[in-house]
Structure 1
């Protein structure tokens, strides 16, 4: 096949740009006379207006699969059938034009919508255009806020909002963000919602101490200033806390799943109860008004998977509104109406009050003194890593779909294969401790594009278990090529480890230059964790370089009698020392800045509470983290120290300083690696199967203890973006009464955390979302794995005790932490690129045998590298000839010395300015040439 002549894609025409980057709206909105704020029922000045909001909360995967939830299957697990909810609600809305309903989860609505007739779709459009059916939030799901990465949140919101916009136009646009179910709320989510153009944000859960204080102070509604970098009001968002979580007031649930009595309004019957219902309702309304600031209050009338028989709800709500409002003739000052969150928000705006300001976030969340929901930050660590890898793969597929053009979408999956990946992946973001899982991801799109760009039709092989040294092709082939695609807009240098059975290999890069490599034995832990899925005895290690938004190809050949590997150069940026007796880390040095900190690292486990405690019966479970004591058990005080005398040429000289494998126990091990050109120390940990033969649940942590004087302060990222300060036993907005000294000091770590003093900053970059804290000065601990024996009574109904066919005695989890040491003023230049590379890691594919001489071995989709502060967040096919592009300034204002950045290039084409933490979205018409 002849090699095609490719140049990077060219942007021809700028169609649209916006700071509202949830989804661009390409049409000119036509203001409807009835939908949106104009559809709201009138309220009564001088009265207490009670806004009843009929709603359902439909988890996109929790105890059942998404399919089972939609169809109402496996109701023995949980009674829920979303298709019946939507059928019933639409029917009931048509019977009374005063009625209202809000719907949230676009994933379910999209599926229901596709099954409707044209007549039904037109009927629903009429309900939406009249504001009787209103969409809120509008994402594919209601994403968890602690463990999701911002790029994934943006994707799933874009997907849902685009469907609503394409289907319903202006009237389908949600005006309110609605996160009633997440267990704590991230500042970055509020910042994203503000930049997406939402007018307000409502949620249901916050810490019980915070709520109590806010109720007394009447501060349950506030202005959330959700960024320290973006100039107000770019990230300002009005935020309200709902009064009953997201449930109805006690005694007023009229769903088929509820036991509250209906309104019996026949005065001739003995069980007539209208007077009692009205009295109880007025009492609740007046009580709620005492803890809110205005003469408007909101009541959520619905709950999980309710309204399957919407007639039950609406028949009683109609009566409630009629009979309560009749009391106005007797002097009552309570007015009840059907409403929506946006209508309620409009009335709060009209009151024109000054609202309290919020600058931090809502983590950690506790619903009582010993019940901190900080365990789920780490629960199901294998799934959390699976999601992160899949998200990276999705971003790569979207890029390759653009770079490859129409040819990328040919194959058994048809056009829009990246859409298939989006639909599957977006279901995971709602619930990270649920049973949702991903289907195998299609590789057709990647193969099509890489074949087109390279001019080679050779079959491509994907090895999805390289982290445990399994790849059938590299284990058996004597000659193969390695293609490394880099989804970042800057070059990357990436270490590659391939399972092999040979002892010497020659490697050449895309220009034919020889590449240093080394062969080392597969570690004992890796051999054990494979469970027969591979048989390689060695690993081939070498460093690859990949251009921005492009690929590079490396050729690998087995040498029958190859010479021994040459001595490797010493690391350029870091030096690590180990204790001779224990084999543990003892110090870390930055060779560029001449910094050294004392540093030790070990593994511990907390004994999980079984509820047999005088203070509380709360157990540690999938959501709740509650250790039995504040002192963890060390995994091994006398670790066996194994010296390995050979390692790859990009790491260290083959001396006793080579590769270090501290062996902590039969179920915990770690490999420590330091690459020549890396500014980070790699700790690859393997944990499991966690033993439970002693009838003790275990929460396993890795703890770093350093000489840094952190003064009770550490820092964590918020959804992978801005960093927040955390202080031990402290909350910025109330005087904390700490009742759980460990769990109450744990926070979500989505991509990185660090401790620092005036001279040194020690940063840990994680490869998945985890939880952690700084319990002692100079210390940073991160939870790795949890295996528990009791349910925490938060709805899952089973212990967090994961097993599988491969690991019937308990799951084994492997991951990486990257450690860097820098002066605080320079640290962002290291940890942000590191975190970016872990989130958007190179995609590696293989071809067997020798490539055709005409094969194009290297390609870049960019004509120039973007500046260091600019991140190419999204490149995605929007329409047939239109591409969605997002550019992000990835530094906070405190991390840079300038606040304006131009992308340069020919000003006659286009120029973009980005401020710190700003994301801008563009729709571009693209031509490939």
Structure 2
């Protein structure tokens, strides 16, 4: 046993091998790196292979080839790599000899994986469940391939356009020691440089007991680029170091004197990013010049210089900061919105490409369903009566879709098509698995049909058949009530459930509306309908006197603070009143309409909006919003979620950590919402639950506005090189459709309503159809759980891990003090969860599922000030009974046997 223990310590020390520093000097950590977008101007495949270089010269496979070659030539050299989606491809193509070399470099700490997710995800428009999944996908590959030495210790988001508090919380719970990023608001950055607060401790949860969600966070001094004048890639124009004194162009003295100005950092260590977008395709250029830089700067130490330059990594830099035992400023809010100049707010991408944003969100729901049915159906789900299916293809497509130029909507049009194609391919693989699983669970091999175009009222089976069955799979861990609308071809239908009981339904205008499943809210109080209006901001064309900045895929910049109202008196075309649903259809213009629905027994009001094609023949780009005006006395405050989890307070024209000089009164007050936003006063709260990520604000007392669609005529000069003007399938311009759920409740009970609604919107029931009636031996009802989960508990993850193990995540979905009823610890018995699985063993893991929980040992940091202490967390009463505290996510690997 002693020998095994010593071996483990040696291996761990071997992985973290860091170069020596000099405590009496300023240590400059050079970090060689490349930033490789998983799609942006080119598709993922084009970037990897180096195709379409007429668009952008970039070939990731050559970068990795070249770096590995150069690392072998000098043991002092280091390199970090981030995007596992690309490394996974490259690794599979290497021979065993190259793989052994790479493994040795990883073991020696000279090739270090940083961040380690499938991609570097966006932080504004991603949902936390998809972020956790894509991180797990990348981290598992690194762990399976390299073991402990492949585990990233630092989160690295050098390019996303603003930073979410929930992301920091996720990274902390995954066991990361620190987090570095490159972009923050220009006013915030100027203040931090002046006060030497470029590095801080981010307390990323108001509910989790510190230090569970505490994360050391640093702002990189040059974004993610090298210092000016020190870029030595083949894509750069900076002069190489010319160190032959016999030559006329000798420039060593000039380079050395120019090297460093780092007065705004607190410790005697600073980090320098030596690389940029898709650099190191010819790594020899970089390393040859950095070798010389290190040599000549350090040579001056003999003459009294106090500067020490070394090859390093973010982990080694972070380790030195921790050893310094300094006290760091505390950060508790987030880094939105981001602006890089007075009129350049990156708040447009919160809404850009609304159809892709919805498709990504629906794909996330389908992936969770696919994963669950793979577990519940057993091994035959992957290879059953309908052929070979898998969830891996969808997992990888969703991993790519989380990239900060994917779901964000900031990619070129042909790349957006490629992201959507990947999701469609992933679902095609999952469809086979789902059909197999449903056949196994129901005992019927009659084929299940999935209607992909219900959003445009198309389903060939329901429109052609007079008798069909609809199967509803609910991926949530509790019973829900879900309205369904289907296109049909008859006027009279009899609808029954699995027990032959009649289900409320209504046929009208060739649709059938019905309520599926059981639990329905009692509607005991009236619903106050806000005044609904649809408006559009005139997008800046760059001809404003204050700034030439235009609205584009990234930037939201309206020409005026007052949007145009689209037809103040909307035409009410259809009114439907029945025992099932009341609905009103309103036309504001030929390109804007909405349907307002209230289903019997539901508290929420459904607003289905349709916008497009947005007309631009008048030469004006348009940013379309819906505005909800109420008499709520919100006093310039409103609230938005962070990646679908905890809620943050927002205040008009205000930032919690610096004195804001507001220069864009609309765009500068926009924030991302992933699932909900609300305004409130002492008596009332208006909450809006969304079906995708969007931008939102409250610019007037009692008002909440949400941006629905954007069509623009100019590029915004952030690299995309084309305007955001999406083509439509059947028309000139994209038609987007979506749903908002509105609730009007007292503030103290609002969370009990909108939390379940938001989860239901993210994890929607999967509908499948079979022609005719089920056979007599078909099992019509099935539950994978023995009983409903408690209201506060959400089944976040259920997926097959290995042959006899499954990965499960249970989360407490309420914040501390958010709900009088549900913001309490709750206990779940792991052995009594599933109806088809016998749980034989359980081991708790980190949130990223790449460490045992008991082995997590994060660096601890000192903060300048502390927030109010939270109550101590409740403990597990027994090994099988796990207790979840508010906002806690617990991850387990279960050893199971199929019953």
Whether TM-score is above 0.5 comes out as yes
Counterpart in 1 of 2:75?
A: 97
Deviations 1:185-223 (A, max 9, x none): 000000000000000000000000000000000000000
1:412, distance to aligned residue in structure 2 (A): 10
In 1, the alpha carbon distance for the partners of 2:729 and 2:883 equals: 53
Partner of 1:733: 657
Q: Does 1:135 align with 2:113?
A: yes
**Is the Cα–Cα contact under 8 Å of residues 485 and 546 in structure 1 kept in the other structure?**
no
CA shift, 1:34, in A, is 7.0
- 1:275-674 matches, within 5 Å, as 275-281=253-259, 285=260, 287-288=261-262, 290-410=263-383, 417-430=390-403, 431=405, 432-433=408-409, 434=411, 435-436=415-416, 437-438=419-420, 439=422, 440=424, 441-442=427-428, 443-521=431-509, 538-545=510-517, 591-592=524-525, 597=528, 599-644=530-575, 646-651=576-581, 658-674=582-598
Do 2:12 and 2:148's aligned partners in 1 also have CA atoms closer than 8 Å? no
Listed one character per residue, the Cα deviations across residues 440-466 of structure 1 (whole Å, up to 9, x for unaligned) are 222101100001100111111110111
Residues in 2 aligned to 1:38 and 1:817: alpha-carbon distance in whole angstroms:
49
Cross-structure match for 2:845: none
Q: Output the CA distance in 1 between the equivalents of 2:326 and 2:316.
A: 17
Displacement, 1:903?
Answer: 1.7
Q: SS in structure 2 opposite 1:724? A: strand
Unpaired runs of 5+ residues, structure 1, are 1-26, 522-537, 548-570, 575-590, 652-657
Q: Deviations over 1:460-479 (max 9, x none)?
A: 11101112210000000111
Aligned mates of 2:645, 2:184 — CA distance in 1: 22
Contact 1:181 1:204 in 2 (8 A): yes
Paired residue secondary structure (1:166): helix
Q: 1:145 aligns with which of 112, 123, 126?
A: 123
Structure 2 contact 466–489 (Cα < 8 Å) conserved: no
Match of 2:849 in 1: none
Return the offset for 1:37: 6.9
Contact 1:484 1:546 in 2 (8 A): no
Aligned-residue offset at 1:642:
2.4
Which stretch has the larger CA shift, 673-682 or 415-424?
A: 415-424
The equivalent residue for 1:169 is 147
Secondary structure, aligned partner of 2:586: strand
Q: 1:914 to 1:665 in 2, by over 3 A?
A: same
Q: Distance in 2 between the 1:31 and 1:797 partners?
A: 51
**Residues 37 and 342 in structure 1, CA contact (< 8 A), matched pair in contact too:** no
Match for residue 205 of structure 1? 183
One of 676, 685, 701 as aligned partner of 1:752: 676
Say if 2:201 and 2:214, in contact at 8 Å, map to a contact too: yes
The Cα shift of 1:546 comes to 6.6
Following the alignment from structure 2 to structure 1, what is the Cα–Cα distance between the partners of residues 639 and 22?
A: 48
Select 1:903's aligned residue among 828, 843, 848.
828
Within the candidate set 753, 761, 765, 1:838 is matched to 761
Pairwise CA distance, 1:148: 0.3
Q: What is the SS of the residue equivalent to 2:80?
A: strand
Contact 1:228 1:893 in 2 (8 A): yes
For 1:28 and 1:541, locate their aligned partners in 2 and report how far apart those are by CA, in whole Å.
67
1:919 is matched with which residue?
889
Task: Name the structure 2 match of 1:22.
Answer: none
**1:865 maps to 2:788:** yes
Give the one of 697, 722, 731 matched to 2:646. Answer: 722
* SS of alignment partner, residue 400 of structure 1: helix
Asked whether the 8 Å contact 1:639–1:662 carries over to 2, the reply is yes
Residue 684 (structure 1) aligns with: 608
Residues 309 and 35 of structure 1: CA distance in aligned 2, closer, same or farther (over 3 Å): farther
Deviates more, 1:668-677 or 1:796-805: 796-805
Distance in 1 (alpha carbons) for counterparts of 2:680 and 2:492: 44
Secondary structure of 1:305's partner? coil
Structure 2 counterpart SS, 1:181: coil
1:928 aligned to 2:879? no
SS in structure 2 of the partner of residue 322 of structure 1: helix
After superposition, the Cα gap between the structure-2 partners of 1:700 and 1:48, relative to the gap in structure 1 and judged at 3 Å, is same
Structure-1 separation of matches of 2:75 and 2:714:
49
Could you say what secondary structure the match of 2:895 adopts? strand
Contact 2:749 2:819 in 1 (8 A): no
CA contact (8 A) 2:112 2:150 kept: yes
Deviation at 1:908, TM superposition (A): 7.3
Deviation at 1:659?
2.3
Q: Distance in 2 between matches of 1:733 and 1:540?
A: 53
Structure 2 length as normaliser, TM-score?
Answer: 0.91
SS at match of 2:767: strand
CA positional deviation for 1:35: 5.7
Q: Is the Cα–Cα contact under 8 Å of residues 35 and 129 in structure 1 kept in the other structure?
A: no
SS in 2 for 1:912: strand
Deviations 1:651-709 (A, max 9, x none): 2xxxxxx4211110000000110001211100000000000010000000000000000
Aligned in 2, Cα 1:413/1:86: closer, same or farther, shift over 3 Å? farther
What is the CA distance between 1:507 and its match in structure 2?
A: 1.0
In the alignment, is the contact (CA less than 8 A) between 1:520 and 1:648 conserved in 2? no
Q: For 1:860, what is the secondary structure of its paired residue?
A: coil
Cα deviation, residue 415, structure 1: 6.5
Whole-Å separation in 2 of the counterparts to 1:333 and 1:783: 53
- Contact kept, 8 Å, 1:37 with 1:343, in 2: the verdict is no
Which residue is equivalent to 2:836? none
Equivalent residue number for residue 158 of structure 2: 180
Segment of structure 1 superposing worse, 881-890 or 905-914: 905-914
Partner SS state of residue 76, structure 1: coil
**How far did residue 32 of structure 1 move?**
4.2
Q: Which whole-Å CA distance do the structure 2 matches of 1:919 and 1:774 have between them?
A: 31
Work out the CA distance in 2 between the residues paired with 1:87 and 1:31: 31
Provide the rounded CA distance (Å) in 2 between the counterparts of 1:877 and 1:28: 34
Specify every segment of 5 or more residues in structure 2 that has no aligned partner in the other structure, as ranges. 833-876
Equivalent residue, structure 2, for 1:852: 775
CA contact (8 A) 2:386 2:436 kept: no
- State the 1:804 CA deviation: 3.4
Question: Given the alignment of the two structures, is residue 78 of structure 1 paired with residue 59 of structure 2, yes or no?
Answer: no
Q: Matched residues in 1 for 2:887 and 2:644: separation?
A: 12
User: How many residues in Structure 1 have an aligned counterpart in Structure 2?
Assistant: 833
The RMSD of aligned alpha carbons is 1.7
Residue 134 of structure 2 is aligned to residue 156 of structure 1: yes
Contact preservation (8 Å) 2:28, 2:271: yes
Partner SS for 2:593: strand
